[in-house]
Structure 1
Amino acid sequence: MTESNPQTTDQIRLTGEDEMVNFAGRMSSILMGGGLVFLEGTLGAGKTTLSRGLIQALGHTGPVKSPTYTLVEEYDLPEGRVCHFDLYRLGDPEELEYMGIREYLTDGTLCLIEWP
């Protein structure tokens, strides 16, 4: 009997904003029921672009702001709630408790976390 390795990751290479947004649109059907997505990469890698594509694919029609200064932007959408985080500026994990991170991590909420 073989066991699957939960640490295995696949890589998908996307080039440009349009490919990132299209990929996010295809991913949206998987994430409709909520979940936790960690977005990692260097500055300019497309974390916010991917988040924008997901949020818009789930029904948001307005602009999607980067939560760099607000730390979190919330979207109540027809497909459920999406919380978009940017934790780049946090210096201590304890700051997550101060911002009430546990209140966002609820069933049915999709949490997109840049700089986890």
Structure 2
Amino acid sequence: MASSTISSKDVNGSTVYSPDGQHLGHIDHLVIDKMSGQVAYAVMGFGGFLGMGEGHHPVPWRKLTFDTKLNGYVTDITKEALQGAPDRPHDWQENRDWATTFYGYYGIAPYWI
């Protein structure tokens, strides 16, 4: 039986795909809530060429599902939705007002609710 856990070092760099198998980007790193221990966001890198001009946006962890056949994560978030995501304030990791708006943008309740 395959393990249901994964090290964060193995998540970083994982490819993210659309439901139809289109490459959307990769997971740059995870943001973990220090108090609950839950993964709050996966910061996804997308676009650019050879690392130049790449955009980085947080994606709610619950919007990603691991696909063993693709050996990567699948999301229903479109490339256009990633590009149109709400801008992050400088304090985005601690800003619950922004995070509530951000989770709402992706159509899910925040992880802390």
TM-score by length of 2: 0.31
Larger Rg: 1
More helix per residue? 1
TM-score by length of 1: 0.30
More strand per residue? 2
- More RCO (CA 8 Å, sep 6+): 1
